[in-house]
Amino acid sequence: MSSSPTQAPGPGQNPLYKSAPDLAPSIVFLVLFALVSVVFAYRSIVTRRQPYYYLLAFTLLRTASYIARAIWSQDKGSIADAIASGVISSGGFFLAAQSLFVLFTLWIESLYGGPDNVPTLERKCLKIVKLLLPLSSIIGIVGSVKQFNASSPSDYDVGTALRKASILGFTIILASLIALTIMFAVKMKGKGHDKIPVVLIICTGSLLLLIEMIYRLDSIWSNPGDGVNTNKWVFYVFMSVPEFLFSVFMGVLNLVKIFYGVNDNEKGGNI
């Protein structure tokens, strides 16, 4: 007697479907991120500095992700809308983390008097992080697509494993940025310009993004029926709010003056 084939987990068993969005908060954050993107668009045009390009792209993708969530809220069983939200979200987070990494790299190079003077060990560490950031994002995108569009339980499990790897990758990178920033501030004491603003910016920005990663870790390792996946306010408090605060925090600061030592209206090159 043949047994019936095992079915792939459906929407009700997927934590991301459990947190399918509501329309009102999606519109609120859509508007908020759209407004912040105007600030970064202005700063990008005026300064032509790489960190602002990443921050502009991040806020634009976040605006797009909340458009996707608003559409998803009208059809909460839609696989296409769920995938769009997950893919845009993962790509956007990479851009936010990348902006911090660019600032960190710039600071390290300034401490040693230029990129050519950075010791071999530090240079290799920077290259590893530079590789891990996009890799974590790509793994997360592939995982979201595979998990939502699973045709078998094994596909679903692979997608979940990939998403876990992506979240862990981003978590480790952000925690490392905080630790390395503090370490270099102590190690290079007395060298370069005032380190307090730099340390506060990188550590605060990383911490705000880390809050989201901790929430995501708790969400994906929890059961679909747990409160972290069913209480929708948790998503907005621990993901949307920290990201918005990160955007405002980076937007109100004069990053050009702090990290480049020039005024906002002095245009730069690639970095």
Q: What is the pTM for the complete model shown? A: 0.85
**Can you tell me the distance from the alpha carbon of 185 to that of 195, in angstroms, rounded to the nearest whole number?**
6
Q: What are the tens digits of pLDDT across the range 66-125?
A: 998 899 888 877 778 878 888 888 889 999 999 999 999 999 988 888 888 888 888 998
Contact call for residues 48 and 29 (beta carbons, < 8 A): no
Indicate whether 3 belongs to any domain: no
Share of the chain above pLDDT 70, in %: 86
List the one residue out of 17, 108, 110 whose CA is nearest residue 69. 17
Indicate whether 198 belongs to any domain: yes
**Can you tell me the distance from the alpha carbon of 260 to that of 98, in angstroms, rounded to the nearest whole number?**
17
Indicate whether 268 belongs to any domain: no
Q: Positive or negative CA dihedral for 114, 116, 118, 123?
A: positive
Is 10's pLDDT higher than 80? no
Residue 36's pLDDT band (cuts 50, 70, 90): very high
Q: What is the 3-state secondary structure (H, E, C) of 38-107?
A: HHHHHHHHHHCCHHHHHHHHHHHHHHHHHHHHHHHCCCCCCHHHHHHHHHHHHHHHHHHHHHHHHHHHHH
Q: Please give the full DSSP string across 118-184, using - where no structure is assigned.
A: S-HHHHHHHHHHHHHHHHHHHHHHHHHHHHHT-SSHHHHHHHHHHHHHHHHHHHHHHHHHHHHHHHH
Tell me the CATH number at 237.
1.20.1070
- Give 83's Cβ-side CA count (13 Å radius): 12
Indicate whether 266 belongs to any domain: no
Q: How many other CB atoms are there within 10 angstroms of residue 189's CB atom?
A: 9
List the one residue out of 181, 186, 166, 239 whose CA is nearest residue 209. 239
| Structural domains in the chain (count) | 1
Could you tell me the residue range of the domain that residue 153 belongs to? 12-260
**Can you tell me the distance from the alpha carbon of 184 to that of 182, in angstroms, rounded to the nearest whole number?**
6
Indicate whether 228 belongs to any domain: yes
Indicate whether 265 belongs to any domain: no
Mean per-residue pLDDT, 151-180: 90
Indicate whether 7 belongs to any domain: no
Contacts of 249 (CB under 8 A, 6+ apart): 204, 205, 208
pLDDT at residue 191, as a whole number: 63
Share of the chain above pLDDT 90, in %: 49
Residue 1's pLDDT band (cuts 50, 70, 90): very low
Indicate whether 5 belongs to any domain: no
By the 10 Å C-beta count (0-12 exposed, 13-18 middle, 19+ buried), 151 is classed as exposed
Q: Which residues of 245-258 are buried (b: 16+ CB within 10 A; e: fewer)?
A: ebbeebbebebbeb
